[in-house]
Amino acid sequence: MNGWLVVNGFLRSERFRATYAHILDAARDAGIGLSVKTNVELAAVDVSTVPPDGRPAFVLFWDKDVNLAKRLEASGLCVYNSAHAIEVCDSKALTYLSLMESGIEMPDTIVVPLSFQPPSWDGESFPDQAIERLGLPLVAKESSGSFGEQVHLVHSREELVAVLDSFGTRSAVLQRFVASSVGRDVRVQVVGGRVIASMLRSSGGKDFRANIVCGASAEAFDAPESFEAMALAVCRTIGLDFAGVDILFGEGERPVFCEVNSNAHFEGILACCGVNAADEIVAHIISKAGGRDGR
C-alpha cells in the first residue's frame, strides 16, 4: 500500500520537519510507502490523469489547504482527515457552530460580524453588547490560528476595540473567560475513535494560555472519563479520524471544550506520555484505507 503525506510547501521550520519525520518513520515501520507531496507541487496537477499505478491508496493530509483537500477528494482519493473536518477545525467560528447543538459544553461564544473592509469598532454598539453578554475579562480569538497565537485576554472596552480593529476583516470570535482554568488545560489525543493519551498543560501562572510554545509545561494526565467522553464526542460530531482536543477546567473541574486541532503536533504527548501518535494514526489509516483498496 502506498500513500501521500501532503504538507504545506511554505512551512519549513524544524518543528514541522520533526512531525513529518515521525509520520514517515511510522509508515516505514508499517511497511507503507509514504511519499511527501507539498500543496505547492500538487496545485497544478490534474490528479484524475495520474495513472493507476501512481495513485495513492490514501492521502494523509497534514495541512490546512482545504481547497486542495476537496479537490483530491473530488478526484476519488481517500483523504484523512477529510476536507470538511479540516475546514471546521481551522475556523474557531465553524467549530463553535458545528458543536453548538451537540450538547458539548463550551464557553458562551459570539461570532464577530462579517466586514468587507477594515472597520472602526469604537463607534459601534457591538463591543458594548459583547461585554454585557460575556463580561470582562473576555477572550478574543481570530478564527484561524495555532499555538495560542491571535488569542487575547481583554480587560476593557478600549482593549476590545483595539483588538477587534487589529483583526481587520479576518473572521474572529469572542468568548466568556473561564477563570477556573486560567493557565491550564488538558490536551486529549484521539485516534480512530479512542483516546490514546492525555496531558495536562500549565503555564504556572505566567500566561492565561496553556500552550507549550507560550512557555507552559506538560505532564502525563489520567484524564477523567468525562474529559475523554467530551473529546470523543467532539471528534465524532465533526467527523475526525484523529485530532488533539483541548479541554478547559470549568467550575467544579467539569470539562469545558476549548479547541480541536485536526493536525495537532504530538511531540508533547510523545515526550511526556511515551505514546507515539504517528504510529497510531498510520495504523488507523491502514485499517480504513485497506478496506477500500488492497494495494
Distance CA 264, CA 250 (A): 23
Burial of 76 (0-12, 13-18, 19+ CB in 10 A): exposed
- Which phi and psi (to 5°) does residue 143 adopt? -65, -35
Q: What is the pLDDT of residues 100-150, one digit of tens each?
A: 999 999 999 999 999 999 889 999 999 999 999 999 999 999 999 766 678
75: pLDDT confidence band, cut at 50, 70 and 90? very high
Q: What is the pLDDT of residues 5-32, one digit of tens each?
A: 999 999 888 889 999 999 999 999 999 9
* CB neighbourhood size of 164 (10 A): 25
Tell me, which fold does domain 109-177 have in CATH? Answer: Dna Ligase; domain 1 (3.30.1490)
State which amino acid sits at residue 288. K
Position 295 scores a pLDDT of 37
Burial 122-159 (b: 16+ CB within 10 A, else e): eeeebbeebbeebeebbbbbbbbeeebebbbbbeeeeb
* CB neighbourhood size of 103 (10 A): 8
Position 11 scores a pLDDT of 87
Intervals of CATH 3.30.470.20 along the chain? 88-104+180-274
- Asked whether the predicted pLDDT for residue 210 surpasses 80, the reply is no
Tell me, which fold does domain 88-104+180-274 have in CATH? Answer: D-amino Acid Aminotransferase; Chain A, domain 1 (3.30.470)
Q: Pick the closest to residue 42 from 6, 81, 78, 90 (CA basis).
A: 6
Answer CATH for 2-81+283-292 from 3.40.50.10470, 3.40.50.20, 1.10.1740.10, 3.20.20.370: 3.40.50.20
Position 84 scores a pLDDT of 98
Half-sphere exposure of 267 (CA within 13 A, CB side): 14
Render 100-121 in DSSP notation, one character per residue.
Answer: TTTT-----EEEPPP-SS---G
Intervals of CATH 3.40.50.20 along the chain? 2-81+283-292
- Asked whether the predicted pLDDT for residue 181 surpasses 90, the reply is yes
